[in-house]
Each structure stands twice: as C-alpha cells, then as structure tokens.
C-alpha cells in the first residue's frame, strides 16, 4: 500500500477516478439502457460529459470568485499588519496595568518580563508593518514581513505540495481529459472490467473485495457526504454571521465569502475547529476597542459550536468515524509520507480497515465483542 500510494497513485489517479465515476453511474445508466432504445455506450458518454460539464462550470465560477476574494483578503490582512504595533502597545499597557496590583517584588519581575517580551515583539511587528506598507502598493503577498521572522518549517511539505501542483497545471488538465475519456469507456464496460478482476482472485479475496466495495460506497462515501454537509452548514453560519455583523456596523471588512470558506474548512479538522480563527480574532477586536465585533465573534463561535454538536452525531454514525487522536495520527503520518494528499487519503484508508475489522472480514486487532466473548469463556474455566 505504501509503494502504491508513494509511486503509483498519482500515475493511476485519472483511471481510479474514472473507475469510481463508472461505478457510481452504473445504476442510472443500466436503468435507462433498459427503458430506452439508446445503447449503454451512448448513455455512458452522455452521463460522463454531463457530469464533467457541471463540475467544470462550478469550478470556473466558484474558482474565479474565490481567487478574487482571496487576493483581496490577503491584501486586507497585510494592511491590518500595519496597525500591529499599536495593537501590541495597547496590550502591553493593559498587562502592565494588571500586574501593577501585585506585591512589589512580583510586580517588578513581571514588569521586566512583560517589557522584554513586548520589546522583542514590537521589533518584529514594526518590521512586518514596514514591509507590509511597501508591499501594499505592489499588490503582492503582504504576509512575508511577519512570517519571515518565525520558523514555519512544519508547513514546508504542504506548501511545497501546493506549489508543485500549481506548476503541473498542464499535466492536470491532460489527466482530467484522460479521466473523462476513460470514464466513458469504463462506464460502458464496467461489468466486463469487474468480472476480469474477480477472475484473478481467490474466493476469499473476492469476498474481501466485495466487502471493501460495499463499505466504501455504503459507509465511507456516506461519511464524506456527511462532513461535506457539515462544511456547508458551517459556511452558511459564518457567512450569515459576518453579514449581520457588517450590517450592524461591527464588521468593517469585506471578503465575507472567502473568510467563511476558510473557517468552514478549518472546522472539519480535529482539534483545530472554528475557535482557531474566531477566538484570536475576537480577542484582537476586544483589545483594539471594537467591542461589538469581539462580542459578535464570541456569540458566532458559540452558535457554530452548539449547532455542530447537535448536527454531527445525527449525520455521522458514532461507530463509523475514527477516534480524534487516531484521526490526527493518520493525518500527520499521511502528510509525512504522501504530502498534502495524505492528509485526506490516510484517514479514509484507516476507516476502511477499521470497518472491515469490525465486521470480522479481516482480523488485525480484537474487537470489543470478541474480547467480551473471550472473557466470558475464560471466566467459567477460572471458577473451575
């Protein structure tokens, strides 16, 4: 599996995607082939091209809007960095005011520590603000001034993956075209392909393959759909919340849609959640005197969290997903082994393995039911 994902996955990805599309389209294509005089090959091409047209249309319109808002958001964030020294100075004064009530010995030590901390932070902030001011007129990325002062080596792998993907856009377009053509042929000849694969396997392996297919379509795809719906719900909540804050005058910025998308995507990752963005944003707003925005963000965070806790158990089966710590492990190991794609691929693979093990098709670790049965069998022997 490691060798396949490392060296063959991207090479075979157009054909894997085509096979997945073919499997999804089998039911509607077979139904129409029986009810209409059209042949399965013609129906397969019509369905595949229709799906491709819809996806391309969505990507063009949404991609253009997201790219435009993302560029403006980066520029807006860079402009905000110019006020970073004033924010730090305000926070500095508030902390000094708090520690001034301590006993003299503790107060002097605390003040020295705070002064040293903010002296260093102010130097970094002033450099970031100066560079941001220069870059504003150029319309380029404005975050380099601050980020260059810190070590973000942990992001090197994902950023390298994104950059390499951007350089390979021509190859991606060719892969998409190959995938569409292959999907037409695979949809038409799906039964022959499946029968050929089954003939190469032993009866035990056929059972494992059938169970894996059933689990993938009945459980894993359902899990993906559930989390996609959760992302959409979070996006709508963020979009409406920021729109309301803008209407009442608390939020003076723009780019509501792109901010909502970013928060919704972050919310799907374990541990991070919407609080990673909303809580620091609320604190900064309160420090800078924008009390309405700070309170509004806190209320918005509470609403999103409560709705997430209510909706997620109903959409995602409790025994289907992985434990949070296991999900984090899968994402980290996937990132280290396979790059950005591993963040999403590894949890899906481990979920499939877990479901196969839970159903007793494979035996990698003891299930709860099996462990309970072994304890019950061992108890009478111990009593004897």
Is 90 in contact with 287 (CB distance < 8 Å)?
yes
- Helix segments in the chain, DSSP class H: 2-3, 9-35, 40-81, 84-99, 104-136, 144-147, 156-167, 169-188, 190-199, 203-215, 221-247, 256-267, 275-287, 291-315, 324-338, 340-358, 368-383
Are both 43 and 175 inside the same structural domain?
yes
Between 43-47, 52-56, 154-158, 334-338, the lowest mean confidence (pLDDT) is in 154-158
**Does residue 165 share a domain with residue 64?**
yes
Give the span between the Cα atoms of 33 and 25, in whole angstroms: 12
| Confidence band, pLDDT 50/70/90 cuts, at residue 181 | very high
For residues 306 and 336, membership in a common domain is answered with no
**What domain range is 245 assigned to?**
206-319
Q: Is 110 among the domain residues?
A: yes
Show which of 302, 319, 336 is a domain's final residue.
Answer: 319
Residue 18: per-residue pLDDT: 92
Could you tell me the maximum CA-CA distance found in the chain, to the nearest angstrom? Answer: 93
Give the pLDDT score at 160: 56
CA distance 14 to 183: 9
Neighbours of 225 (CB within 10 A): 12
Instruction: Tell me how far apart the alpha carbons of residues 351 and 314 are, in angstroms, rounded to a whole number.
Output: 19
Q: Which of 56-60, 159-163, 210-214, 215-219 shows the lowest per-residue confidence on average (mean pLDDT)?
A: 159-163
Residues 75 and 178 in one domain: yes
Q: What is the predicted pLDDT for the residue at 15?
A: 92
Residues 145 and 73 in one domain: yes
Top pLDDT among 76 and 157 is at: 76
Predicted local confidence at residue 223, as pLDDT? 73
Q: Could you tell me if 49 and 102 lie in one domain?
A: yes
Out of 32-41, 92-101, 363-372, which region has the weakest mean confidence (pLDDT)?
Answer: 363-372
Taking the C-alpha atoms of residue 78 and residue 356, their distance in angstroms, rounded to an integer, is: 49
Q: Which residue has the higher pLDDT, 376 or 47?
A: 47
User: Would you give the DSSP letter of residue 155?
Assistant: G
Q: Encode pLDDT of 260-317 as tens digits.
A: 888 888 887 766 778 888 888 888 888 777 888 889 999 999 998 888 888 776 666 5
Residue 146, pLDDT above cutoff 50: no
> What pLDDT does residue 184 have?
92
Residues 60 and 94 in one domain: yes
User: In total, how many domains does the chain have?
Assistant: 3
Q: Are residue 139 and residue 188 in the same domain, yes or no? A: yes
The answer to whether residue 382 is domain-embedded is no
DSSP state of 138: T
Structure confidence at residue 182 (pLDDT): 92
Per-residue confidence at 183, pLDDT binned at 50, 70, 90?
Answer: very high
User: Does residue 136 contact residue 72 with C-beta atoms inside 8 Å?
Assistant: no
Q: What is the pLDDT of residue 186?
A: 92
Residues 241 and 289 placed together within one structural domain of the fold: yes
In a domain, 381, yes or no: no
Asked if the model's pLDDT at residue 32 lies above 80, the reply is yes
35 and 181 share a domain? yes
Closest Cα partner for 189 from 35, 30, 70? Answer: 30
Residues 218, 359: Cα–Cα separation, whole Å:
14
- Inter-residue contact 290 to 298 (CB < 8 Å): no
What is the pLDDT, as a whole number, of residue 49? 92
- 374 within some domain: no
Q: What is the mean pLDDT of residues 6-12?
A: 85
* Sequence-distant (≥ 6) Cβ neighbours of residue 274 within 8 angstroms: 234, 238, 263, 266, 267, 301, 304, 305
What pTM does this model have? 0.60
Both 210 and 299 in one domain: the answer is yes
Q: What is the pLDDT of residue 185?
A: 92
More confident residue, 331 or 86: 331
DSSP state of 384: -
Residue 111 and residue 88 share a domain: yes
């Amino acid at each position: 599996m490691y060798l396949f994902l490392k060296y063959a996955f991207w090479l075979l990805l157009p054909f894997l995607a085509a096979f997945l599309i073919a499997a999804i389209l089998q039911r509607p294509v077979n139904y129409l082939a029986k009810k209409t005089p059209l042949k399965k090959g013609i129906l397969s091409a019509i369905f595949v091209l229709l799906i491709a047209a819809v996806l391309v249309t969505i990507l063009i319109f949404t991609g253009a809007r997201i790219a435009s808002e993302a560029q403006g958001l980066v520029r807006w964030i860079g402009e905000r960095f110019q006020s970073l020294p004033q924010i730090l100075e305000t926070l500095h004064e508030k902390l000094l005011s708090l520690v001034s009530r301590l006993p003299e010995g503790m107060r002097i030590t605390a003040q020295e520590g705070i002064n040293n901390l903010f002296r260093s932070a102010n130097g970094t902030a002033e450099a970031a603000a100066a560079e941001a001011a220069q870059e504003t007129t150029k319309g380029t990325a404005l975050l380099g001034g601050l980020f260059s002062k810190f070590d973000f080596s942990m992001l090197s792998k994902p950023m390298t993956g994104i950059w390499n993907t951007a350089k390979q856009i021509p190859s991606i377009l060719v892969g998409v075209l190959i995938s569409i053509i292959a999907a037409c042929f695979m949809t038409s000849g799906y039964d022959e392909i499946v029968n050929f694969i089954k003939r190469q396997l032993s009866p035990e392996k056929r059972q494992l393959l059938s169970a894996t297919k059933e689990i993938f379509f009945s459980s894993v795809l359902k899990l993906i759909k559930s989390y996609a719906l959760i992302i959409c719900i979070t996006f709508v909540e963020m979009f409406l919340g920021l729109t309301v804050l803008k209407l009442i005058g608390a939020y003076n910025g723009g780019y509501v849609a792109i901010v909502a998308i970013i928060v919704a995507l972050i919310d799907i990752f374990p541990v991070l959640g919407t609080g990673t963005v909303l809580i620091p944003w609320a604190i900064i707003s309160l420090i800078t005197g924008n009390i309405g925005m700070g309170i509004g963000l806190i209320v918005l965070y509470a609403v999103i969290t409560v709705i997430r806790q209510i909706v997620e158990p109903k959409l995602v089966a409790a025994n289907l997903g992985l434990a949070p710590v296991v999900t984090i492990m899968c994402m980290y190991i996937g990132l280290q082994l396979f790059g950005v794609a591993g963040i999403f691929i590894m949890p899906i693979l481990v979920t499939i393995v877990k479901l196969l093990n839970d159903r007793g098709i494979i035996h990698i670790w003891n299930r709860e039911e099996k462990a309970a049965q072994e304890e019950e069998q061992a108890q009478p022997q111990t009593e004897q």
